[in-house]
Amino acid sequence: MDDIVVIGLYRHGITTDNERKAFSGWTNSILSERGIQDLQAIQPLIPKYEKVIASDLKRCVDTAGILFPTETVDVWSEFREMNFGILEGKRHQELEHLEEYITWVSDPFTSFLPEGEYFHEFGSRIRSGWNKWLDVMEQHEMKRGAIVTHGGVIRHLLTEVAPVEKQFWEWKADNGRGYELTASLSSLRRGERCISLQAVPSTEKSNG
């Protein structure tokens, strides 16, 4: 097949909210000093791509700037993390007695978060962005492209396109790391799974 493409999926670096263990979906949290140093350390190991896009939230834009310093990065709001609504910016200890939080934790895939998103709304948004991205790759005859996004986005995409079927929480999504998937572009556009999946940087072990 001559339409084989490679797509990198990278999670943003460690943020101040990650260090606080606070919910950070649409909250514009920033990279921590440790997060910045970690990204700078792995940058030489990051493969090259023809085009890089990122979630429009600052932690992803800044991560893309560090990992891909010579690239012009386009920002796409479709690849934002899930909107956690009233949970945003708060830690478990602040929420554990809140009824809405207890309900959501028991079933995050169907429960509603006030002022936030249903999981199916989040998934529809990601699928829309993914299809748009595949269109761009086809239009520009790209063979290698990368998306800098969030842990939830990466997990959701992998449940749909990874060669091995796993549940959402079974997928690992470490800060500053990610995966390269290899696939026929036409098969991805048909909703089929990729051919292979490799963790990046390449020194990391593959997860599936």
Parallel, antiparallel, or unpaired for β 196-200 and 178-184? antiparallel
Which pLDDT score is estimated for 163?
97
Token pair 């796409």 is found at: 76
Which pLDDT score is estimated for 205?
43
Can you give the pLDDT of all 208 residues of the chain as single tens digits?
589 999 999 999 999 999 999 999 999 999 999 999 999 999 999 999 999 999 999 999 999 999 999 999 999 999 999 999 999 999 999 999 999 999 999 999 999 999 999 999 999 999 999 999 999 999 999 999 999 999 999 999 999 999 999 999 999 999 999 999 999 999 999 999 999 999 999 754 434 3
Which pLDDT score is estimated for 2?
82
- Burial zone of 14 (CB within 10 Å; 0-12 exposed, 13-18 middle, 19+ buried): buried
Which pLDDT score is estimated for 12?
98
| Non-local CB neighbours of 167 within 8 Å, separated by 6+ positions | 159
CATH for 4-84+118-200, options being 3.40.50.1240, 3.60.20.10, 3.40.50.300, 3.30.70.580: 3.40.50.1240
| Non-local CB neighbours of 78 within 8 Å, separated by 6+ positions | 125, 126, 128, 129, 132
| Non-local CB neighbours of 126 within 8 Å, separated by 6+ positions | 78, 79, 153, 156, 157
Six token digits for residue 119 = 């999981």
User: Could you tell me the residue ranges of all domains in the chain?
Assistant: 4-84+118-200
Give the predicted TM-score (pTM) of the model: 0.94
